Structure 1
């Protein structure tokens, strides 16, 4: 199994002090949340998946971390005043596929006080989705890459920094049903025969991890880190 060095690579780029409050958008199973919580005063972990948040709670308990506040919502369905302001905002691999991304970028910029860090697709990150689309005999409609977000930020007056993050990375799912939900989000609704076909394929490519989640390794993924400092 390839080592997932993406979290270490990203966290090393984040400027954070021990009195900082952090918002982790789309936190998943806490891959980024846990190391941030060890550095910051507190972390607000936002995610729609109850399964992933349960895994995060277990990880936090094992690490004796009591400074993680969990919100079981997705970014699109929560208002800025419900989240509150945070010194540092992180959106790790969680904004990909949002069709109307400008309101979410504005929301992120509004709640951030010091820094924003987000990672989005570069190029060549769609092998997993391409294989499933081919299996189903469907055309794979790729979501926009990071350049769309970057152009919107420029229109907002945000002068963002851009740098590549080349790493071996893993996609995590709390169970097979969540993996299927993610696939449907990418390629469209599946009928029962298609679901069974995809399940059979996933059973051969997903790895069961010690925490009970399932994962898929993307070797040499090309992620783009976009970050900026807030000028108040």
Structure 2
């Protein structure tokens, strides 16, 4: 029997890939601790600007910001809409969200303490839903169902390309195990199986290894991010650096986020 793409169980493949990655979900307390140190929601970052400029809004819209953190996206959208709901499972992040909203004199922001895995009965249905860098979930199939059920007009989501925060090519160069998260292609295929056809482009950010002024500094950055390097690994990096020094100074390939948007059916 011929297999077509709609017969493939991408929901199961996603869960299996996530299990192989070894990902362990961080408890809310980890994010609570990080929130306490955040002096700014980061709404003026290059990433936030690139995300926000792609979102189409109307003044009467309500927005659900899933995995809102300290409000990087939600607070940037709030001046342009009627209401923003920030959803996060970290009470510390929600406290930071509301402190930043008060500082910015935004009175149309409300917190919702909830996780991806919890029931969403108390989560309002909104015109627009945004999911910014918060889509590594235990069950993508269930997450997409929730997003579509709670969105009237359009969902905007970024998902990691290649499933790595660290450089894929450096990891492969060093022969490190593949611990990548499920990448954006799972999401695209699962939406396609729902007869949803998203638009997509990419937000590119400099690699975490960018900015090295010398070979020694580059190797030191790799050592910090990938763990202690052996002498042989340092020699391998040295040869790679010398073959393409300008590219190496950029940190190799950029970090890419797939920016997807769709209308729930």
Fold match (TM-score > 0.5): yes
- Which residue in the other structure is 1:95 paired with? 135
Structural mapping, 1:179-194, within 5 Å: none
CA deviation digits over 1:203-231, x for unaligned, max 9? xxxxxxxxxxxxxxxx9420001101345
Q: Conserved in 1, the CA contact under 8 Å of 2:64 and 2:128?
A: yes
- Which residue in the other structure is 1:34 paired with? 75
Deviates more, 1:13-22 or 1:52-61: 52-61
| 1:21 partnered with 2:62 | yes
Q: Conserved in 2, the CA contact under 8 Å of 1:93 and 1:120?
A: yes
Of the two, which has the highest radius of gyration?
A: 2
- Which residue in the other structure is 1:74 paired with? 115
Q: TM-score scaled by structure 2?
A: 0.60
Equivalent position SS for 2:259:
strand
Separation of aligned partners in 2, 1:101 and 1:16: 26
Deviation at 1:168, TM superposition (A): 4.9
Equivalent position SS for 1:76:
coil
| 1:165 partnered with 2:203 | yes
- Which residue in the other structure is 1:177 paired with? none
- Which residue in the other structure is 1:221 paired with? 255
- Which residue in the other structure is 2:228 paired with? none
Q: Conserved in 2, the CA contact under 8 Å of 1:4 and 1:167?
A: no
Separation of aligned partners in 2, 1:162 and 1:129: 22
Q: Conserved in 1, the CA contact under 8 Å of 2:87 and 2:114?
A: yes
Deviation at 1:59, TM superposition (A): 0.7
CA deviation digits over 1:176-210, x for unaligned, max 9? xxxxxxxxxxxxxxxxxxxxxxxxx79xxxxxxxx
More strand by share: 1
Deviation at 1:49, TM superposition (A): 1.4
CA deviation digits over 1:82-125, x for unaligned, max 9? 212100010111112x2321011011011110111000011374
Q: Conserved in 2, the CA contact under 8 Å of 1:119 and 1:226?
A: yes
Deviation at 1:166, TM superposition (A): 1.2
| 1:146 partnered with 2:180 | no
- Alpha-carbon RMSD across the aligned residues, in angstroms, is 2.7
- Structure 1, unaligned stretches of length 5 or more? 132-137, 171-200, 203-218
If asked which structure has higher relative contact order (CA below 8 Å, sep 6+), I would say 1
Separation of aligned partners in 2, 1:18 and 1:47: 24
